[in-house]
Amino acid sequence: MAIFDISNQQLLRRQGDEQILIQPWGKDGLRVRVTRNANLDTDQDWALLPQPTDAQAEVRRVKTKPSNKKQLASAGNPGEDAPLVEEENAAAITNGRLTAFVDRHGYISFRNQRGEELLREYVRNRSDLSEYSVPLAMKARHLLPHSGTDDYRLIMSFEAYDNEKLYGMGQYQEDRLNLKGAKLELAQRNSQISSPFLVSSRGYGFLWNNPAVGDVTFARNVTRWTARSTRQIDYWICAGDTPAEIEEAYAGVTGTVPMMRDDLMGFWQCKLRYRTQDELLGVVREHKRRGLPLDAIVIDFFHWTMQGDWEFDSIDWPDPEAMVEELNAAGVNLVVSVWPTVDVRSKNFPELAENGYLIRNDRGGLLTSLFMGDVTLWDALNPGARDFIWRICKKNYYDKGIKLFWLDSAEPIYNNQHIDNLHYHMGPALQNSNSYPLYFAKAFYDGLAAEGEQDIMCLIRCGWAGSQRYGALVWSGDIHSSFKSMRQQITAGINAGMAGLPWWTTDIGSFLAGFPAHDDFRELLVRWFAWGCFQPVMRLHGDRLPYKDPEPLYRNGVEQFGTGAENEVWSFGDDNYEILKKYLFLRESLKPYIHDLMKAAHEKGTPVMRPLFYEFPDDPAAWDIDETYMFGPDILVAPVYEAGVATRSVYLPAGETWRESSTGQLHDGGQWVTAHAPLDVIPLFVRRDAVGLPI
């Protein structure tokens, strides 16, 4: 017999060794946790902010139609008009527009304020006469014990729905915006961000609030979430009538980005790598000599003495304070790369090891990574390690005037095939590793905040649900220089925004295998640069070829990473320079508009890059557009992602009249048009009534 406790603004069901806890969490949202252990873990909120102290819910027993033969016979009427009777051990909990029902068998379903089903557990194990009565013995919830432990392999299944569309989940290298039919790995990798929040066209948002390694399958017949090792089921769901309402509800329970500083909304210059202080300052001076706008310049990795020292090599960077002073006078912010790798010869290695501040192997030696030396990784899930890393970086960077950090390799970079052998302060890597980038960002956010800094931002190569509240500016990783890759990044950026990560960017021109002297790469870079003008952050970066250093370099026995070819806006030919310069100044002129977009992201969690349906949810066609998006409420952006073309087909959402920026021509919405797109033009369409835009 199941036992329900419906007190204290929550619904708790116990039957056998299983416990289900459902609580109100934020606006129109509920948090669901299930375990087979003796006690539910209610101490760890993972991606969620703590439960609001004013959380309110209506919790009640519910009346249902008869669900077995005995009740049907006593009711005397087996039809749809059968009288409602009290069904033993069934209950419901309502928070705003969302209601969860737990029936007598323990199955959970969710409905909105109109009584419409949003989502229900996968049911193929019923013996009553309900519509789900089939004797397949397939349950929705499987917590399968790992022998001798209190850990489980988890399988959680929900029903699939015809015509449902799903968006978000972070960043995956795919062409499709709608994730229905996709199988996604729930693991962090270079160029893959697992941030498991989705928005459904059925009117709900769903957060898989579990940092364990696993996967999710959005099949036609079932939606199935798995974790290779975990303690319990934990997810959050909300109801909303529009995608914007769902996104805002999610931001309410996981946090929003800080307000982006106005002096970071323009152009960022970067390459792999500026090797010396003189080289970097020379680039900034040339920008200023040419009268070009520049908000930030980035010092990439291997500026340090050794991995894990987190300090400048004084040979190449002799006077960081003077460098920062000159940059500040020029109005340019400096961003410095910090990696999580620690060479065993690093001056900080002994203290990190002694205090248990390193990720460790359960079996075998100490090393957890091999990158340019014998290295291991610091444990961002350890609060003591976070304090230690910030203390070192404060001394060697912040105290020299550097307030912006690039947290690279934040997955972190180890062999995912061996992840079952790794252990963090908070437990096995299989159970925790997806949250590593969140805690990496938190270390620097907390450190900067303690110094009185506001509007904090860190460029970071990965993120998890909730990373946004720690100022995470994610980017799409070390992608290949090709039009195919560019096409994938458009989708990746839109879905990252829908997953609650509104600060997103790419390496303009991409990272790998770009040759600045080659015409085919120059065409790609020009197209990408124009698109970069309409990303949340506009940043030129890449590992350009050929390298200036033909042979490996060593200093004091430490291998030094080489220096790539030129990657400045004047490096790709005079004709192309004029095009790039046009978009540099266009970005500057867009700053007042971008300020408003960043304010909305900060206050409500609104994506900066929005799918068309975000602004036009009543247009069915808008839900199927993968490679065009809204940059804020008024600008429709259609990047050109093919070589050798001068036009692009663009869908314009219904219910609006659109002005084509390059021609001034007006178009009615609800149709496909052929946009003007020579090399110097990115197709842009503006709402006819929009005012104050420089396009």
Residue type, 282: G
The pLDDT value recorded for residue 82 is: 39
Boundary residue ending a domain (228, 254, 280): 254
Residues 6 or more apart in contact with residue 13 via CB below 8 angstroms: 2, 3, 4, 5, 19, 20, 91, 102, 106
pLDDT above 70 (res 416): no
Of the pLDDT bands very low, low, confident and very high (cuts 50, 70, 90), residue 7 is confident
The pLDDT value recorded for residue 78 is: 37
Residue 193, in any domain of the structure: yes
C-alpha 331/C-alpha 329 separation (Å) is: 5
The pLDDT value recorded for residue 89 is: 72
Identified catalytic residue from 234, 316, 408, 507: 408
Instruction: Compare 368 and 504 and report the one with higher pLDDT.
Output: 504
Residue 237 maps to which CATH number?
Answer: 2.60.40.1760
pLDDT above 50 (res 303): yes
The pLDDT value recorded for residue 54 is: 84
C-alpha 65/C-alpha 68 separation (Å) is: 9
- Of 682, 693, 686, 614, the C-alpha closest to 652 is 686
- Of 12, 13, 15, 34, the C-alpha closest to 23 is 12
- Determine whether 656 is an active site residue: no
C-alpha 302/C-alpha 299 separation (Å) is: 9
Average pLDDT rounded to a whole number, residues 145-161: 96
Query: Do 610 and 625 touch, CB atoms closer than 8 A?
Result: no
Average pLDDT rounded to a whole number, residues 610-625: 98
Residue 170, in any domain of the structure: yes
The pLDDT value recorded for residue 76 is: 36
- Determine whether 278 is an active site residue: no
Average pLDDT rounded to a whole number, residues 479-507: 98
Residues 234 and 268 in one domain: no
Provide φ and ψ at 598, rounded to 5°. Answer: -70, -30
pLDDT above 80 (res 79): no
pLDDT above 90 (res 492): yes
pLDDT above 70 (res 80): no
Host domain of residue 64: 3-254
Residues 221 and 290 in one domain: no
Of the pLDDT bands very low, low, confident and very high (cuts 50, 70, 90), residue 105 is confident
Residues 512 and 620 in one domain: no
Average pLDDT rounded to a whole number, residues 597-615: 98
Residues 584 and 628 in one domain: no
User: What pLDDT digit, counting tens, does each position of 372-406 carry?
Assistant: 889 999 999 999 999 999 999 999 999 999 999 99
The pLDDT value recorded for residue 658 is: 98
Identified catalytic residue from 262, 478, 523, 680: 478
Average pLDDT rounded to a whole number, residues 400-418: 89
User: What pLDDT digit, counting tens, does each position of 230-261 carry?
Assistant: 999 999 999 999 999 999 999 999 999 999 99
The three-state secondary structure class of 305 is coil
C-alpha 569/C-alpha 251 separation (Å) is: 37
Query: Do 500 and 465 touch, CB atoms closer than 8 A?
Result: yes
Residue 295, in any domain of the structure: yes
Residue 560 maps to which CATH number?
Answer: 3.20.20.80
Average pLDDT rounded to a whole number, residues 580-590: 98
Residues 577 and 483 in one domain: yes
- Of 329, 332, 295, 331, the C-alpha closest to 590 is 295
The pLDDT value recorded for residue 485 is: 98
The pLDDT value recorded for residue 131 is: 62
The pLDDT value recorded for residue 421 is: 92
The three-state secondary structure class of 529 is helix
- Determine whether 478 is an active site residue: yes
Residues 270 and 289 in one domain: yes
DSSP 424-467: ETTEEHHHHGGGHHHHHHHHHHHHHHHTT--S--EEES---TTG
Boundary residue ending a domain (545, 579, 604): 604
Average pLDDT rounded to a whole number, residues 297-323: 97
Residue 663 maps to which CATH number?
Answer: 2.60.40.1180
The pLDDT value recorded for residue 130 is: 62
The pLDDT value recorded for residue 368 is: 81
Percent of the chain with pLDDT over 90: 86
Query: Do 499 and 197 touch, CB atoms closer than 8 A?
Result: yes
pLDDT above 70 (res 87): no
Query: Do 168 and 498 touch, CB atoms closer than 8 A?
Result: yes
The pLDDT value recorded for residue 648 is: 98
Residues 196 and 324 in one domain: no
pLDDT above 70 (res 550): no
User: What pLDDT digit, counting tens, does each position of 21-67 carry?
Assistant: 999 999 999 999 999 999 999 999 999 999 988 888 999 988 765 55
Q: What is the total count of domains within the chain?
A: 3
Residue 362, in any domain of the structure: no
Residue 241, in any domain of the structure: yes
The pLDDT value recorded for residue 70 is: 44
Residues 165 and 312 in one domain: no
Strand partners, 508: 540
Residue 357, in any domain of the structure: no
Average pLDDT rounded to a whole number, residues 79-83: 41
- Write b or e for each residue in 432-462: b if 16 or more Cβ atoms lie within 10 A of its Cβ, otherwise e: bbbbbbbbbbbbbbbbbeeeebebbbbbbbb
Residues 620 and 529 in one domain: no
Average pLDDT rounded to a whole number, residues 132-148: 85
Residues 571 and 553 in one domain: yes
Boundary residue ending a domain (572, 604, 636): 604
The pLDDT value recorded for residue 132 is: 60
Identified catalytic residue from 411, 543, 619, 634: 411
Residue 351, in any domain of the structure: no
Average pLDDT rounded to a whole number, residues 559-583: 95
Q: Among 46-50, 148-152, 293-297, 431-435, where is mean pLDDT lowest?
A: 148-152
Residues 596 and 621 in one domain: no
Question: What average pLDDT is seen over the chain?
Answer: 93
C-alpha 489/C-alpha 539 separation (Å) is: 14
The pLDDT value recorded for residue 66 is: 53
The pLDDT value recorded for residue 461 is: 97
User: What pLDDT digit, counting tens, does each position of 628-678 carry?
Assistant: 999 999 999 999 999 999 999 999 999 999 999 999 999 999 999 999 999
Residues 121 and 65 in one domain: yes
The three-state secondary structure class of 269 is strand
Of the pLDDT bands very low, low, confident and very high (cuts 50, 70, 90), residue 72 is very low
Does residue 575 come out as left (phi exceeding 0), alpha (psi in the -120 to 50 range) or beta? alpha
pLDDT above 70 (res 562): yes
Query: Do 297 and 264 touch, CB atoms closer than 8 A?
Result: no
Residue 56, in any domain of the structure: yes
